[in-house]
Amino acid sequence: MNTPDFNVCVEEQLQRVYATLVQKAGEYAHGDRLSNFKRPADMMRMTPEKVLIGYWMKHITSILDFVDELDKGVLRSEDIWAEKITDAQAYLCLLKAFIRERHVNMQKDNPPPEIKNG
């Protein structure tokens, strides 16, 4: 694939991930965009990040099944590939949000020491 075609492919995919995350926010966000991982985490006594990884692995498993099918000469439509890849990438964006939230909370709980002049 030449560079211009590759760049178009990447741009289309990034836009698709963004659109998916925005669209699903209305479906899944209940005041906290990450609540659909936090609630099951409380119920299962796990971290929400581990819950997210469990959900993400379902998407990765599906992608691996599609890759295995390639060895058998089966090529699924670009649309179904895009859907699976987009979902997997969206979960990584959600993981990024969890990590950012942890850093923000850590800074609130442990603010840097105050520097006094003079």
- Domain-wise residue ranges, the chain: 3-107
What is the model's pLDDT at position 26? 73
Residue 88 to residue 85: CA distance in whole angstroms = 5
Q: Is the pLDDT of residue 30 over 80?
A: no
Spatial contact of 13 and 82, defined as CB atoms under 8 Å apart: yes
| 33 DSSP 8-state letter | T
Q: For 60-70, what is each residue's pLDDT tens digit?
A: 999 999 999 99
Per-residue pLDDT at 118 exceeds 70: no
**pLDDT tens column, 90-113:** 999 999 999 999 999 998 888 766
Asked if 26 and 47 count as a contact pair (C-beta separation under 8 A), the reply is: no
